[in-house]
Structure 1
Amino acid sequence: MSSLRTLLIAGASAGLLLSAGAAVAGSPAKSPLKAPPMTSQDKSDLAAVLALAPAGQPTALDMSNPVHYRFFVRQMKAAGVTPDRYPQLFKVTEQARKAKPPAVERRPMTVLAAQGLPGITPIQTLTAIGTDDGTNYFASAISSVPQTPYFSQLVVQLYDSGGNPIGQPASSSSATQPASNVNAIANGASSTSYAAVQGVATYFWQDQFGKAYHGFVEGVVTTAPTSITNLAPMPGTGQSITKLCLGRTGTDCTYSPPGGTGTNVLMPVQGSITFASAINTSPSTQTSLITMARPDTGQGGGCTIASTDNFFADPNTVINGGTISWNLNPAHFQPAVGCLVPNSTAIYTLTLGLAVANQATFVTITSDPNTDPQDPYFKIIPELQVFFSCLAEGTLVTLADGSKVAIEDLKEGALVRVAGGRTLAVESKLKGTEEAPMIRLKTAGGREVLITDGHPVIVAGKPVLAGLVRVGQKVTIEGGVDAVVSVEREAYAKPVWNLNLGAPPASLNDPKVTGSAFYAGGILVGDNVMQFVENRKQQKARAAVAVQRVPPEWRQDVVSAIKDGN
């Protein structure tokens, strides 16, 4: 049976990704307890809760409803998340039970809205459920939350058709790896070959407004596709990485969709999936989730298309017998600004829930590099990078011979002077517009540069994002250093530019990649690659700081989760 994959998603300002799965052994994380037998009350509660929503649709639980409350508590306890070890989780849950909130709120997966954060959505969904051999089953789920929550918990359990648990529940929390992907993997073997095994993911989090969220998502599957094809997004000719340029154009951009910006994210999405049996065309059997999200910053949440109905309602989405094909050109995503890191990798994921031969199945296309390429329910595609940040037009760049040329007039192949007195060739340029105010830096020696907030400047020998540079710091200039005397933000309506210097790296996720720095306005600044690397570092640093602010009342829960490897 194939091993299960680190699964997806993070995005938004200071948040969390949880990924949990029920799958094969060999995972570094295990649930502390085996699920106890189900009582008749447990089975009745499970059936009642699962009848609330169609497969694949996350649904809120009402803790004032005794059935919902018992179901949630049982799911947590089965995974070793107990009141003595996780006291605050159960205290918050008890408070929710007594508060008597409104009736169950249906929350479709692509229209969830974070309180106070319009355009950035939590994501709770099953990403896969199936079997490789008809006996050993797996299920995986994600819970991605905008803004670092006080605490977040995800439990995944497999059940047979009689409501009996199969194998160990998988449990994952925000405690052990809050600034990165959190994974927990268990396994489940059915006594009946190709049985109708059900996966149930139960989630909880408390946000920084003090509001608690309880919910679940479930699915049943036994049918795997015979083929999965992805045509877009994909790298262009001669490329190994897909580059999406928003409000930017350049020879190395795979896609530069007209009208695309950091607040209007557009990208073509095209492909097909084929099964041996016919696909049910009833809308009630169909779910879709298409996201671009941060891969490793722990920021939580994702950028998703407007609603679950858009994908299947598009005239270019066609079901013909056992094949579904689609061509969204382009697909519209929520704003990248405040969600994705400019000039950085984004994890692209398309997950479809379909009914084939009257059985539900989930199929995923993703650029997540940790996905198992042998998994029949997954298609792994090349890395995706998203660009939307640069230098102002007219910025003078120092060439190898010491002369200076406006950045927009540089030719590909031109040699520019870089750090350490070396020279590098301009591999490619990016051009676009900037929506957010830019940063104008001025030095005591009269040098100045107008640069985007997320562009690195070399300060005291190290890259610092322009938005974090302060008066009095010393920036590197040609032949020495110069003190910053002014840092001002200003609106800028003209084109902006960026450079890629030297041979492009095989992958920007390689920790050895640092990028290069060149002289702009006489000040040493980073190229496009360095901007990618430094933005990713900064987002990790922000997430790490947020983790240190976990309220005291949650510390016992965090300690227990760490002991569990949860």
Structure 2
Amino acid sequence: MRVITMHGFGIKVLWVLGILCIGGSSYGQTAPASTYPRPMTAQEAQDYAHVLNMVKPGRPYILNLADPQQMRFTQRALAAADRMSTNAPQTYAAVRDTMQRDQKLAATANHSATALAARPLLASTAGGPQDIETISNFGDEGNNVYTATGYSSVLGGTTQTTITTQLIDTQTKTVYASASSTQYAQGTNFQVPVTGKVPSSANLAAVATIVTVVGNSGNTTVVSTAAMVPASTGTMTAPNYCVRTNPSDPNSNCVINGGQTQYQTTSTTLVPSPPPIKVCFSRGSQQSCDYYNSSGRPATSVFYPEAGTASFGTNTIDPSYATAGSYTASIVDPVIGGGCVFSDHQALGTGWSLANASTLQWTLPQLSMTNPTNCLGVSGGRLVNFNFYVEVPLNTGAGKNTGYITFTSAYNPPMPPGYLGIPAIFLEDSCVAAGTLVRLADGSTTVIEKITADNQPQVMTAAGDKRTVLGTAKGVELHPMIRLKTSLGQDLLITRTHPVLSANGLVMARDLKVGDSVKTEKGVAKIVSTAQEKYTGQVYSLRLGWFDEARSDRRTHSANGIFIGDSVSQIQMEQDEVARLKNDRKEVLRRLPDDKWRQEYQNFINQHR
């Protein structure tokens, strides 16, 4: 089976290829199969060639809309999704604004070729939080039927996302299949698949053009594809789960011998429905995390090993693999959107070797991602998808080629060739501002930043239970926080999506309104004030358990006298909201920025009834 793939990370409007799984619901537009294959028009073919010549395979590039060809490329992607200026005026206005911005910048450089070129997305942002754009599962499903999926995950979500995914022959300029879809007020985990029959002689590429608008600003990013050979088998043995003192209790301590944490050594690719691997940055303990920072490591980094193998059957790995091969590692947050890149197409080098002529093996004792731009503070406290992608030069019976393997926790079985499922990563979270008082089980209070899981302190829940603190973390919050004030005098600064215990159960802080009732240490109180507030200090959180009771008041603790949920409760609520948005049009309308956008969304709904 021949598989073509390309991996990239990008923002706003783009061409991409890569890895991911589930996406929010939307209405799609797939042209009838009878219209394909179709030859591109002369101008369309010229524009495709123009854009492809600007980019390197596997790398995301932001298109420059001051260039008429790149602008037409964007407009064609919208038109394929039936997004026209008449029915999607706000989307088109955002694209025009971006074009005018790019024209002003190009004018300062006399519209030189350099000033009009697409620019690499990760040139200055690798390591920090960013949007993730890719194509997943691009491969031959048999009988020359190919499938590819365009994927977009934008940090904080989008006002509008349109994805057009196509299968094209880059030599004959033929389009073999095309599918499009649009999503409003979501954009953190959106995918559009396309399937088509393609002759074996085709020089095939998958192209996903992703047009995203945040507020009233849009951009275009593109990533090209490359033909590659999937690994026939693969294993991943690290990161892995620590050996627990009680194997049936995921919250029991890790076994430590001679000062070293003991880890399981079996392949995590063979685990059905695997629980997440728990990682702590900033702080942690042998009880709360499989991996955690020791005193000798920076508090603003994640450290854990990476080890595995990839075999390529009868193909042999070229001796140049150490310098010609590369790997990319990232985490992606499908709930809040975006992700962080550990490394982007980094040369294999030290830690990589050949087990035999066709099998690559690696042991990276300290894969690390530093936190220079608050990446971990953004993605902390939730399940994130871990992606590890390897390319290696091959010698095949048909000549030289490139082999690849992708390990990803964003998957839905069955996996296509070259893709293997692995556990997700759980990063400890942060939710309330430093200085927030927490009531302990003995009746005393302490500021939240002084609580650690190492000495197993207990807190009092709203249900009157004593619960042990199993994990703590600190981070930062890029979005404005919410300050809540109650009729009984409580005052709490909390992140927008963190759950607060209302009279009707846990609700997100941002959804509380003046007059709503919340549960406090003094009894039920009314909200008398709720306001957004920018906060630049540290935020902290507690974890009291796992997902078994995430919606229960037995998973709460007091924060300045108001009962709030723990970090896992927040994850559960965010996941619930993503699921609800798939079918809740009223919520989508509420989240759009103004009446003009709401009218465009209503046009979209009416068009697809």
TM-score above 0.5: yes
Q: CA deviation at 1:46?
A: 3.0
Distance in 2 (alpha carbons) for counterparts of 1:327 and 1:346 = 21
Distance in 2 (alpha carbons) for counterparts of 1:524 and 1:147 = 26
The answer as to 2:302 corresponding to 1:295 is no
User: One-letter code of the match for 2:347?
Assistant: F
Show structure 2 runs of 5+ residues with no match: 2-6, 251-274, 582-586
SS at match of 1:350: strand
Change (3 A) 1:351 1:560: farther
Mean Cα deviation higher: 275-284 or 166-175: 275-284
Q: CA deviation at 1:419?
A: 3.6
Listed as ranges, the matches of 1:477-488 within 5 Å are 477=520, 480-481=523-524
The counterpart of 1:99, out of the listed 91, 103, 110, is: 103
Task: Indicate the residue corresponding to 2:406 in structure 1.
Answer: 364
Task: Indicate the residue corresponding to 2:362 in structure 1.
Answer: 325
SS at match of 1:249: coil
Task: Indicate the residue corresponding to 2:208 in structure 1.
Answer: 201
Paired residues of 2:392 and 2:404 also in contact (CA < 8 A)? yes
Change (3 A) 1:316 1:252: same
Task: Indicate the residue corresponding to 2:240 in structure 1.
Answer: 234
Listed as ranges, the matches of 1:390-429 within 5 Å are 395-398=438-441, 418-421=461-464, 423=465, 426=468, 429=470
Change (3 A) 1:343 1:308: closer
Task: Indicate the residue corresponding to 1:49 in structure 2.
Answer: 51
Task: Indicate the residue corresponding to 2:161 in structure 1.
Answer: 152
Task: Indicate the residue corresponding to 1:4 in structure 2.
Answer: none
Paired residues of 1:248 and 1:256 also in contact (CA < 8 A)? yes
Distance in 2 (alpha carbons) for counterparts of 1:431 and 1:458 = 20
Listed as ranges, the matches of 1:107-186 within 5 Å are 107-111=119-123, 113=125, 119-133=128-142, 135-146=144-155, 148-160=157-169, 162-165=171-174, 167-175=176-184, 178=186, 181-186=189-194
Mean Cα deviation higher: 317-326 or 537-546: 537-546
Task: Indicate the residue corresponding to 1:548 in structure 2.
Answer: 592
User: One-letter code of the match for 1:548?
Assistant: L
Task: Indicate the residue corresponding to 2:289 in structure 1.
Answer: 253
**Count of aligned positions:** 531
Task: Indicate the residue corresponding to 2:565 in structure 1.
Answer: 526
SS at match of 1:235: coil
Distance in 2 (alpha carbons) for counterparts of 1:168 and 1:294 = 30
Distance in 2 (alpha carbons) for counterparts of 1:409 and 1:345 = 21
Distance in 1 (alpha carbons) for counterparts of 2:405 and 2:451 = 44
User: One-letter code of the match for 2:222?
Assistant: F
The counterpart of 1:374, out of the listed 397, 415, 420, is: 415
Paired residues of 1:438 and 1:451 also in contact (CA < 8 A)? yes
The answer as to 2:388 corresponding to 1:350 is yes
Deviations 1:34-64 (A, max 9, x none): 4542245544443343232221112333445
Deviations 1:149-200 (A, max 9, x none): 554332221123633445421223333x62553332221212227x542112
Distance in 1 (alpha carbons) for counterparts of 2:30 and 2:158 = 22
SS at match of 2:569: helix
Paired residues of 2:78 and 2:211 also in contact (CA < 8 A)? no
Change (3 A) 1:83 1:257: same
SS at match of 2:222: strand
Deviations 1:510-560 (A, max 9, x none): xx7776224578654433432433566789999957842157279548734
User: One-letter code of the match for 1:552?
Assistant: K
Paired residues of 1:242 and 1:254 also in contact (CA < 8 A)? yes
Cα RMSD of the aligned pairs, angstroms, is: 5.3
The counterpart of 1:386, out of the listed 421, 424, 427, is: 427
The counterpart of 1:218, out of the listed 217, 224, 227, is: 224
Deviations 1:223-275 (A, max 9, x none): 221123223333333443211212221303111134465x5444444433322
Paired residues of 1:342 and 1:387 also in contact (CA < 8 A)? yes
Paired residues of 2:502 and 2:518 also in contact (CA < 8 A)? yes
Deviations 1:385-409 (A, max 9, x none): 111327879844236xxx6697959
Distance in 2 (alpha carbons) for counterparts of 1:525 and 1:242 = 25
Query: What's the % identity of the aligned pairs?
Result: 22
User: One-letter code of the match for 2:362?
Assistant: S
The counterpart of 1:272, out of the listed 309, 312, 324, is: 309
Task: Indicate the residue corresponding to 2:195 in structure 1.
Answer: 187
Show structure 1 runs of 5+ residues with no match: 2-6
Task: Indicate the residue corresponding to 1:517 in structure 2.
Answer: 556
Deviations 1:358-397 (A, max 9, x none): 33555432222x4334322221122321113278798442
Change (3 A) 1:356 1:197: farther
Paired residues of 1:17 and 1:301 also in contact (CA < 8 A)? no
The answer as to 2:544 corresponding to 1:500 is yes
Change (3 A) 1:395 1:553: closer
Deviations 1:193-215 (A, max 9, x none): 7x5421122233344464x4233
Mean Cα deviation higher: 68-77 or 359-368: 68-77
Deviations 1:270-326 (A, max 9, x none): 4333223244647997665432232134xx432223x525x3266334577542535
User: One-letter code of the match for 1:378?
Assistant: Y
Paired residues of 2:133 and 2:153 also in contact (CA < 8 A)? yes
Task: Indicate the residue corresponding to 2:61 in structure 1.
Answer: 59
Distance in 1 (alpha carbons) for counterparts of 2:418 and 2:8 = 15
Paired residues of 1:19 and 1:184 also in contact (CA < 8 A)? no
Distance in 1 (alpha carbons) for counterparts of 2:96 and 2:445 = 66
Deviations 1:464-497 (A, max 9, x none): 667998999865345733678999999999x977
SS at match of 2:58: coil
User: One-letter code of the match for 2:364?
Assistant: N
The answer as to 2:328 corresponding to 1:316 is no
Distance in 2 (alpha carbons) for counterparts of 1:521 and 1:270 = 44
Paired residues of 2:277 and 2:424 also in contact (CA < 8 A)? yes
TM-score, L = length of structure 1: 0.72
Paired residues of 2:279 and 2:302 also in contact (CA < 8 A)? no
Paired residues of 1:431 and 1:498 also in contact (CA < 8 A)? yes
Mean Cα deviation higher: 438-447 or 327-336: 438-447
Distance in 1 (alpha carbons) for counterparts of 2:82 and 2:534 = 51
Task: Indicate the residue corresponding to 1:476 in structure 2.
Answer: 519
Mean Cα deviation higher: 350-359 or 224-233: 350-359
SS at match of 2:207: strand
User: One-letter code of the match for 1:516?
Assistant: R
TM-score, L = length of structure 2: 0.68
Distance in 1 (alpha carbons) for counterparts of 2:598 and 2:40 = 30
Change (3 A) 1:524 1:324: same
Deviations 1:42-90 (A, max 9, x none): 4444334323222111233344545445544455545555566556656
Distance in 1 (alpha carbons) for counterparts of 2:498 and 2:78 = 44
Paired residues of 1:445 and 1:482 also in contact (CA < 8 A)? yes
Paired residues of 2:18 and 2:134 also in contact (CA < 8 A)? no
The counterpart of 1:304, out of the listed 341, 350, 368, is: 341
Asked which structure has the greater RCO (Cα within 8 Å, sep 6+), the reply is 1
Paired residues of 2:377 and 2:476 also in contact (CA < 8 A)? no
The answer as to 2:38 corresponding to 1:31 is no
